[in-house]
Chains A and B, each alone.
Chain A
Amino acid sequence: GAVVSQHPSWVICKSGTSVKIECRSLDFQATTMFWYRQFPKQSLMLMATSNEGSKATYEQGVEKDKFLINHASLTLSTLTVTSAHPEDSSFYICSARGGLGEQYFGPGTRLTVT
């Protein structure tokens, strides 16, 4: 089956630094990728939708200058959390949509900002 990977799986960074999270579709081309955020014991909240080669579409309330999304190829999207603060600590999950509309989720990246 289709596989989506994320790297790193967990990261600890200091407040004020930036962190980049990669999302890759390993055996299919994903024209659309999604980034979700999940706080402990809460649901997944969609942050943005990214289409290959174009700017990401952010959900209301998500700061586009803070959460930079780049979807440079059909198999890679990156999320950069700029100037991270402790409140950005969360579980970030990407998903990729295949050609038939199926949506596959990555294993998630746990970010802790100290």
Chain B
Amino acid sequence: AQKVTQAQTEISVVEKEDVTLDCVYETRDTTYYLFWYKQPPSGELVFLIRRNSFDEQNEISGRYSWNFQKSTSSFNFTITASQVVDSAVYFCALRAGNTNAGKSTFGDGTTLTVKP
């Protein structure tokens, strides 16, 4: 069984603060993929990143960075110098590579509010 836990239900920060969204996952598969999505009020999911289980390198994309640690089964997402436009619900998701191929399990999401 797969499980994704996003312990932070809501986070509120002031613009320009850094913020980290936590994601912890569970799977028995050795091959899997981890994702982060942003869901603004419009509802459409915006893909942010995909990471496979064999690539533990951290990644930085502009103000976004991701920390993947297999030892703790975590895939945390940090926004540096947050902006009001970052306000959204962020979902972490897990997709097994070998079993249940293609079925993504989503965390409950973290609602981020960035205040001006």
Contacts and interface: CB of A to CB of B under 8 A. Distances in A.
Interface in B97-111: 101-109, 111
A105 interface: yes
B91 interface: yes
Contact of A103 (B42, B43, B95, B108): B95
Main secondary structure of the interface of A (DSSP, over half): strand
A44 B106 contact: yes
Given A103-B95, A104-B47, A105-B45, A34 B109 contact: no
Contact of A43 (B33, B47, B91, B95): B91
A83 B103 CA distance: 27
B44 interface: yes
A27 to B, nearest CB: 15
10 contacts: A32-B102, A34-B104, A42-B108, A43-B106, A44-B91, A46-B104, A93-B45, A101-B33, A103-B35, A107-B43
Interface of A: 32, 34, 41-46, 49, 91, 93, 95, 97, 101-108, 110
